[in-house]
């Protein structure tokens, strides 16, 4: 009877350890660099605040992604890795996608790294508030188990009241002549 309890206990520990190992992700964002219109902004490896972003700015986010499988693992390949992320509700209530979606890639062995760059162009018409960006990195190992990591950012839009953008300016007529009234139409934001 004692041997059965001992055996059941060992099996429970093995199953618990196996479930935890299966749930662990071995795809990790190990470094993040953010630039706003060429100026570096510091954030942590799991995201953070991107400050002083103005309408029309370009945000460049570089992610260094690593395969962190232990070297003792038999199968360490992570394939079909995708990097996705949209800035939520920033474009007249619509999400803003990156200028270009990054290509899928594979990380074959533990310690392999890939650097991916995602660029966003902030719309000229945007409210002065904070917007969320959640970047997700997702791949799959050869056993079909998803491997993921993510970084969450808050983008803080800062609009200076004295900085105006003239979007469009034109006359209401093709030609202007003395004695005729003419309107000059300007769209400013």
Q: Give pLDDT tens digits for 143-155.
A: 899 999 999 999 9
Q: How far apart are CA 64 and CA 32, in angstroms?
A: 6
- Render pLDDT for 4-61 as a digit per residue (tens, 0 to 9): 655 565 655 455 444 444 458 999 999 999 999 988 887 887 889 999 999 999 999 9
Least confident residue range of 116-130, 133-147, 150-164, 170-184: 170-184
User: pTM of the full predicted structure?
Assistant: 0.76
Report CA-CA distances (Å) from 64 to 7, 85, 107, 130, 145.
44, 15, 12, 25, 22
Q: Per-residue confidence at 170, pLDDT binned at 50, 70, 90?
A: confident
């Amino acid at each position: 009877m004692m041997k059965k309890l001992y055996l059941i206990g060992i099996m429970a520990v093995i199953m618990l350890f196996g479930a935890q190992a299966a749930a662990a992700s071995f795809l990790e964002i190990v470094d993040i660099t953010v630039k706003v219109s060429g100026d570096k902004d510091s954030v942590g490896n799991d995201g953070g605040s991107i400050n002083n972003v103005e309408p029309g700015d370009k945000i460049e986010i570089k992610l260094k992604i690593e395969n962190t499988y232990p070297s003792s693992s038999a199968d360490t390949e992570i394939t079909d890795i995708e990097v996705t992320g949209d800035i939520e509700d920033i474009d007249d209530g619509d999400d803003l996608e990156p200028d270009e979606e990054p290509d899928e890639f594979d990380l074959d062995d533990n310690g392999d790294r890939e650097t991916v760059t995602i660029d966003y162009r902030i719309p000229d018409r945007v409210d002065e508030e904070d917007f969320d960006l959640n970047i997700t990195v997702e791949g799959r190992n050869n056993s079909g188990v998803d491997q993921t990591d993510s970084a969450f950012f808050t983008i803080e839009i800062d609009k200076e009241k004295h900085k105006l953008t003239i979007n469009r300016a034109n006359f209401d007529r093709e030609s202007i002549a003395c004695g005729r009234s003419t309107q000059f139409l300007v769209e400013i934001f």
